[in-house]
Amino acid sequence: MKSNSPTIIDMSARQLTTAEKVETGRIKFNTYLNYFGAMGLLLSVLFILGMSLSTIVSMTRNLWLTSWSDYNTRITNDTERRQSIGIRLGVYAIFGFSEVLLLFVGIVSLLYGAVSASRNLHSPLLHSIFRAPMSFFDMTPFGRILNRIGKDIDTVDLQLPSNVQFFMQCMLQVVSTLVIVMISTPVFGVAIIPLALLYLMIMKYYIAASRQLKRLESISRSPIYSHLSEVLEEKVDSHVQCRYFGYVANRWMDTTSSGVIGLSVSYALSITTALNLAVRQITKLETNGVSVERILEYANTSTEAEWNSDKGKSPPPEWPHEGKILIENYSTRYRPGLELVIKSLNATIHLTKRLELLEELEQ
């Protein structure tokens, strides 16, 4: 057998272990596409449509109730008012039932989609790790792998689905509130512009800090799994510091005050709460999306060759016909980038013979 190993040596590859990769900046949109793709196209569409249509029906139901109230103030004839109650009450009940049904479809779709996403992210992760070359385990500490399979999968299983749900609800609440207020009091649009700019500015700095702190927290957790005997030393302190500052960022968001803006008091008061929750849910979705990002990194790890040979390259059925191994000009290294440990080896191992290889260690 012959080897075509590269001769270029990467000095960085000499390191026993590599530093854990830390992403910077926003989570790539492709990461979210991978998550919703893991949920399944049908379930993702049903979730979005169910939540969106239930919000639209809820707005229509409230508008219908307003119209009903205005109608009662205009009608003075008791007979005509009693005749309209049945029809209007029936329409209102249909709206309410439709809203509940659509919301149920959206939530159930999310639940099944979350299970599907967890399974479709977990399976390729395990497959890549089980089929990874030995060089991967030489360079990657056990705690780092356990961190991906443990905490990151736990986040995808338990936290990310609720983040997606609350993010969708907050966005729809903000949109519906703005629509109702703009229809009833268009002058509110003058006040909403600076308010929206203020929240966008807050969200820009808040998300950036929380997202990177989440990444640092995830990385600082790996040494804890690797060194359980050092739980009282600096490795846990490093992890707790990152987690502490994440909580500080969340508490800072609570100091943002809400004000009465616009003429529609009920909706104007709710818009600040909705925007506050929207910023928080966007941030949670972004920070917990880091787990998907980290899982995909290991799921896309290069694996060993397939178990089965390509068609046409398999040995004949009668192979081997004798217990003899012939090695011709064989060279190999522990992993790409390192020096050759076996150079131009030629050997013939006959039946019932033994071969012993000794490695000379450099001092």
The answer to whether residue 265 scores a pLDDT higher than 60 is no
Q: What pLDDT, on a 0 to 100 scale, did the predictor assign at position 47?
A: 93
Query: Is residue 287 one of the residues assigned to a domain?
Result: yes
Query: Is residue 361 one of the residues assigned to a domain?
Result: no
Q: Could you tell me what percent of the chain has a pLDDT over 90? A: 9
Query: Is residue 6 one of the residues assigned to a domain?
Result: no
Query: Is residue 335 one of the residues assigned to a domain?
Result: no
Q: What is the CATH number of the domain that holds 218?
A: 1.20.1560.10
Query: Is residue 248 one of the residues assigned to a domain?
Result: yes
Per-residue model confidence as pLDDT tens digits over 54-70 = 989 988 888 887 777 76
Q: What is the 3-state secondary structure (H, E, C) of the chain?
A: CCCCCCCCCCHHHHCCCCCCCCCCCCCCHHHHHHHHHHHCHHHHHHHHHHHHHHHHHHHHHHHHHHHHHHHHHHCCCHHHHHHHHHHHHHHHHHHHHHHHHHHHHHHHHHHHHHHHHHHHHHHHHHHHHHCCCHHHHHHCCHHHHHHHHHHHHHHHHHHHHHHHHHHHHHHHHHHHHHHHHHHHCCCHHHHHHHHHHHHHHHHHHHHHHHHHHHHHHHHHHHHHHHCHHHCCCHHHHHHHHHHHHHHHHHHHHHCCCCCCCCCCHHHHHHHHHHHHHHHHHHHHHHHHHHHHHHHHHHHCCCCCCCCCCCCCCCCCCCCCCCCCEEEEEEEECCCCCCCCCEEEEEEEECCCCCCCCCCCCCC
Query: Is residue 336 one of the residues assigned to a domain?
Result: no
Query: Is residue 104 one of the residues assigned to a domain?
Result: yes
Per-residue model confidence as pLDDT tens digits over 277-315 = 777 777 777 777 778 877 887 787 777 767 666 666 677
- Could you list the residue range(s) of the whole structural domain that residue 101 is in? 11-299
Query: Is residue 311 one of the residues assigned to a domain?
Result: no
The answer to whether residue 93 scores a pLDDT higher than 80 is yes
Using a cut of 0.85, tell me whether the model's pTM lies above it: no
Per-residue model confidence as pLDDT tens digits over 170-195 = 888 888 888 877 777 777 777 777 77
Number of domains in the chain: 1
